[in-house]
Structure 1
């Protein structure tokens, strides 16, 4: 299982993926005026084992009160601090196609510690255009600008065949973390961070579960017909 190092212990990728869900739910509770929350309450709401919730929250360093729980605001702050969301990370996006355009238009990244400050492409028909308030820059400016602006995050939304070459440009510019939406793996030097999003894998899980559900329903329908006979 993939893991990262944090707070002196190994933190699983699954735990990291759950923390934003906790934060989102806690924000809802905060808006409702709820000042204290327990792991049991969070687990019940999110359909998770309370013990797992407690283990996940422990990596943030926060300690709850026995039989009481956590202060909602303090828990939100602990999660945001652990994930680095209380510091705004500037990012460059490369590849202003359908996926890149959609990400440029998403206006909630700032709430999660991410700000896309520039977009790049090698398509002459796109260079110079403004997409969701971002002027599309020529790809050959990426390395120099990344170095001068000390940008640490790169978002990759290019075709598979261009993924590695663009990743190399990011590396040369000093970018340390790449969020890879390209349908291809990329190789990076040791010490860099890569998060690859495989949309087709996600859909495979969805379609498989749908087939399972529909199969159960069809089977139930057949049994019902048999009973009526």
Structure 2
């Protein structure tokens, strides 16, 4: 199926994994068709919003009262999000957070294949973490150039993250998943997705101490 042309929003894209999980649960429970309202109720979202999101990616029209074919809608979302198009990624920083990411096998279901990790600790170099080889950081640029890796993940201390991002950009990495507690300066056209765990924890802490 060709992807539908759509001006789908970033927020809608971020909701797609939730829709997919909901649909997969419905399929596993033997449900053949599902309405946007049912999805909205399950996820506690506005049904008009869900209907608009689904219409942006669905290859079929939902039927009145019956809704959308579950199997087809699952395939539509997987296709639209590119989950069948496997994308290689590397992790720079094999500390506790980096190791946690390297051990997350669910990434494969979202089209992400972690192929290598990089660090500076001598005791890690040449080893494997969950079957993924760890290289010295000095090999980063050569590895990326040879393997044309499109996605780079940063789990380093903040003071070295910009240098890693600069290397990513030099070798053509166009998408960076940044877990370092710093903002990155990258050229136009390079996407940075920041994950600030400290900010999330701050919100939780503030809530329970108010």
Establish whether TM, by shorter chain, passes 0.5. Answer: yes
Contact 1:142 1:173 in 2 (8 A): no
Alignment of 1:208-219 (within 5 A): 208-210=206-208
* In structure 1, C-alpha distance between the alignment counterparts of 2:44 and 2:64, rounded to whole Å: 22
Pairing 1:142–2:140 present: yes
2:195 — aligned with what? 197
Q: How far off is 1:58 after superposition?
A: 2.4
* TM-score normalised by length of structure 2: 0.91
- Secondary structure, aligned partner of 2:8: strand
What CA distance in whole angstroms lies between the structure 2 residues aligned with 1:21 and 1:96? 29
Long gaps (5+) in structure 2: none
Distance in 2, Cα, partners of 1:139 & 1:150: 17
Q: TM-score, normalised by structure 1?
A: 0.84
Secondary structure of 2:117's counterpart equals strand
Tell me, in whole angstroms, the C-alpha distance in 2 between the residues paired with 1:211 and 1:150.
47
**Where in structure 1 are there 5+ consecutive unaligned residues?**
1-5, 213-229
Match of 1:76 in 2: 74
Displacement of 1:59 after TM fit?
2.4
Larger RCO, structures 1/2 (Cα 8 Å, 6+ apart)? 2
Q: Specify the alignment match of 1:224 in structure 2.
A: none
Are residues 1:168 and 2:166 paired?
yes
Provide the C-alpha distance between the structure 1 equivalents of 2:14 and 2:110, rounded to a whole number of angstroms: 13
Q: 1:210 to 1:49 in 2, by over 3 A?
A: farther
Structure 1: distance between partners of 2:62 and 2:208: 39
- Equivalent residues, number: 207
Residue in structure 2 matching 1:14, options 11, 16, 25: 11
| Pair 1:87 & 2:85 matched | yes
| Cα distance in structure 1, aligned partners of 2:153 and 2:45 | 31
Match of 2:150 in 1: 152
The alpha-carbon deviation at position 9 of structure 1 amounts to: 4.3
